[in-house]
């Protein structure tokens, strides 16, 4: 029925709207699983803002996804069994399974057909999408979907013949972050780092053979069409820049480069299956032990939200993600002074991390406790105060202990220790709590939350609670 509705619409639309002139830019070639797709009809693929746009007929006919057109809303819905994408003509904002995302280019109407961003849709649907700018070719590879989450084991290097299409058995790099002198690379599947240094300028090179960027990598860091990118590192006395790229196709190899101010030593190692850690050390003092070594307790601090996901807002640009990060950094500073603790942040800047990535970091580190920091929001501006959430009963003592110190520090209404079914405290395996420190929707709470004194006091309170719970105060 829906398909029929669409066809009917297209028919009407084609007659109702005068033909738009084709854009000057040449169209792109599309290759699906090694076969070139011929786009028939007057609407042809186009490159808009560096994004390959295709008539959405291509999506339904060649990729087999369900496509529905809503004439009233001028919106397109693309779906398969587990993903639903909503796009609207002329709008850069789209939704994937109800979650808002921003596109590089908005869908447009050409010759009576909607053009939609091919790469975005392919990636959301779990295809391997790559782009060759010289031949203007988009290559789509449908992946075998037989394996479970995160259980893909890469083949031992070199034993895989000369398969030139690296789509199976690869470890997927989901995110890269740096906190002080420690870099975290989160993956799905194990990647064994090959690491070496180069001079002039000084840098450390980490090669991950049998690895590629995951479809969600772009959610946290920029990745250009040639599959490379970088970010500048602020406030770090040793590191200036982090660069990354798909360095080589066969075997598919991801290269990460740490640009340094001076020559440094390093230690690179796997923590669990899905996490690579690179610790930087001053030359001559190569003593940094792996996380949790020597009986240290491992504390993971998780600043909620980040980047495209700002969380709650208090207005005036005061976003929850900013508050959460400021708090996490302050708690880290306090806890770092305790020689019995190793502190790891899930993010230490304004990046986006999936909830599952946050959990993965804690699990792979065998963390002793996991603390997620948030601020609340309610429909009524009168709601105010501090809450601590636990999900598993094994987290209750941690919740009680941290909450006692937290409430004393916030001096806001004590809204108590509560059960909350949040992903990060449910899916983690160690005692885990989620702190809602105050309400951004309440003007008194919000003013406090963004004050430096309050943040310092509360960071000390949270740290006191963690230390008391771990018996390391």
Please state, in angstroms and as integers, the Cα–Cα distance from residue 175 to each residue in 31, 191, 422, 424, following that order.
28, 13, 22, 17
Whose Cβ is closer to Zn ion: residue 304's or residue 461's? 304
Spot the catalytic one: 123, 271, 320, 436.
Answer: 436
As measured in angstroms, the least distance from the Cβ of 305 to Zn ion is 6
- Contacts of Zn ion in 265-304 (CB under 5 A): 304
- Residue closer to Zn ion (CB basis): 140 or 373: 373
Q: Min. distance of Cβ 313 from Zn ion in angstroms?
A: 11
Q: Is 282 a catalytic residue?
A: no
Which residues are paired to 78 by β-bridges? 67, 85
In the complex with Zn ion, the residue whose CB is nearer, 341 or 458, is: 458
Residue 178 vs 399, nearer CB to Zn ion = 399
**Binding footprint of Zn ion, residue count (CB under 5 A):** 3
Residue 295 DSSP code: G
Q: How far is CA 179 from its chain centroid? A: 16
DSSP string, 343-356: EEES-SSS----HH
**CB 456 to Zn ion: min, Å:** 21
Contact 465, 403 (CB under 8 A): yes
Residue 364 or 377: which CB sits closer to Zn ion?
377
Q: Which stretch binds Zn ion (CB under 5 A): 30-38, 222-230, 308-316, 449-457?
A: 308-316
Residues contacting 415, CB < 8 A, separation 6+: 385, 386, 387
Task: Identify residues 28-67 at the interface with Zn ion (CB under 5 A).
Answer: none
Segment interacting with Zn ion, rule: CB under 5 A, options 72-80, 232-240, 250-258, 366-374: 366-374
- Residues of span 106-125 touching Zn ion by CB under 5 A: none
Distance set, CA 240 to CA 235, 279, 470 (Å): 9, 15, 35
Alpha helix (H) ranges present in 89-140?
Answer: 118-124
Pick the piece of the chain touching Zn ion (CB under 5 A) from 66-74, 262-270, 274-282, 370-378.
370-378
Helices (H) and strands (E) in the chain, counts: 10, 29
Going 40 to 41 to 47 to 53, the CA torsion angle's sign is negative
Of 29-37, 237-245, 265-273, 309-317, which part binds Zn ion (CB under 5 A)? 309-317
| Cβ 363 to Zn ion shortest distance, Å | 21
Choice between 439 and 454, CB closer to Zn ion: 439
Name the β-bridge partners of 187: 173
Cis amide bond preceding 417, omega within 30: no
Note whether 311 binds Zn ion by CB under 5 A.
yes
Q: Pairing state of beta strands 194-198 and 203-209?
A: antiparallel
CA distance 13 to 19: 10
**Among 182, 296, 374, 415, which residue sits at the site for Zn ion (rule: CB under 5 A)?**
374
For residue 251, whether the previous peptide bond is cis, meaning omega lies within 30 degrees of 0, is yes
- Give the shortest CB-45-to-Zn ion separation in angstroms: 40
- Chain-centre distance for alpha carbon 76: 25
Is the CB of 251 or the CB of 304 nearer to Zn ion? 304
The answer to whether 358 contacts Zn ion (rule: CB under 5 A) is no
**Are 204 and 195 a contacting pair, CB within 8 Å?**
yes
CB of 436 to Zn ion, least distance (A): 7
- Angle separating helix axes 320-336 and 452-470, nearest 10 degrees: 50
Tell me the sheet residues that pair with 102.
93
**CA atoms of 288 and 295, how far apart (whole Å):** 14
Structure-token pair, residue 292? 């949790």
**Is 306 a residue that touches Zn ion (CB under 5 A)?**
no
Q: Which stretch binds Zn ion (CB under 5 A): 9-17, 73-81, 203-211, 374-382?
A: 374-382
Least spacing, CB of residue 373 vs Zn ion, in Å:
9
Residues found near Zn ion in the complex (CB under 5 A): 304, 311, 374
- By annotation, the residues acting in catalysis are 436
């Amino acid at each position: 029925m829906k398909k029929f509705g669409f066809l009917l619409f297209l028919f009407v639309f084609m007659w109702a709207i005068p033909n738009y002139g084709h854009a000057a830019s040449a169209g792109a070639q599309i290759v699906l699983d090694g076969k070139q797709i011929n786009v028939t009809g007057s609407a042809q693929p186009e490159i808009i803002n560096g994004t390959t746009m295709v008539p959405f007929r291509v999506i339904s006919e060649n990729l087999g996804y369900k496509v529905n057109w809503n004439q009233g809303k001028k919106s397109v819905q693309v779906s398969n069994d587990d993903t639903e994408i909503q796009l609207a003509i002329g709008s850069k904002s789209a939704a994937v399974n109800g979650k808002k995302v921003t596109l590089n280019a908005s869908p447009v109407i050409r010759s009576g057909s909607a053009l939609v961003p091919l790469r975005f849709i392919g990636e959301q649907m779990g295809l391997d999408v790559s782009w060759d700018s010289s031949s203007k070719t988009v290559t789509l590879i449908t992946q075998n979907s037989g394996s479970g989450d995160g259980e893909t084991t890469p083949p031992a290097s070199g034993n895989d013949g000369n398969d030139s299409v690296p789509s199976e058995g690869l470890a997927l790099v989901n995110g890269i972050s740096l906190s002080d002198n420690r870099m975290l690379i989160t993956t799905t599947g194990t990647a064994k780092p090959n690491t070496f240094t180069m001079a002039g300028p000084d840098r450390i090179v980490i090669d991950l053979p049998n690895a590629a960027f995951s479809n969600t990598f772009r959610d946290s860091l920029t990745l250009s069409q040639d599959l490379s990118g970088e970010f500048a590192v602020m406030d770090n006395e040793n590191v200036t820049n982090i660069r990354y790229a798909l360095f080589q196709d066969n075997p598919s190899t991801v290269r990460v480069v740490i640009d340094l101010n001076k020559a440094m030593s390093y230690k690179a190692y796997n923590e669990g299956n899905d996490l690579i850690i690179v610790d930087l050390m001053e030359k001559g003092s190569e003593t940094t032990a792996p996380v949790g070594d020597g009986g240290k307790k491992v504390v993971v601090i998780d600043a909620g939200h980040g980047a495209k996901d700002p969380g709650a807002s208090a207005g005036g640009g005061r976003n929850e993600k900013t508050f959460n990060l400021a708090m996490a950094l302050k708690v880290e500073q306090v806890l770092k002074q305790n020689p019995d603790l190793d502190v790891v942040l899930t993010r230490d800047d304004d990046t986006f991390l999936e909830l599952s990535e946050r959990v993965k970091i804690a699990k792979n580190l065998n963390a002793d406790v996991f603390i997620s920091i948030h601020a609340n929001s309610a429909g009524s501006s009168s709601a105010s105060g501090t809450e601590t959430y636990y999900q598993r009963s094994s987290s209750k003592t941690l919740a009680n202990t941290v909450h006692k110190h937290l409430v004393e520090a916030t001096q806001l209404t004590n809204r108590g220790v509560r059960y909350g079914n949040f992903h990060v405290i449910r899916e983690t395996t160690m005692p885990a709590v989620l702190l809602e420190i105050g309400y951004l929707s309440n003007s008194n709470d919000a003013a406090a939350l963004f004050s430096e004194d309050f943040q310092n006091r509360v960071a000390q309170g949270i740290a006191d609670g963690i230390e008391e719970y771990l018996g390391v105060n």
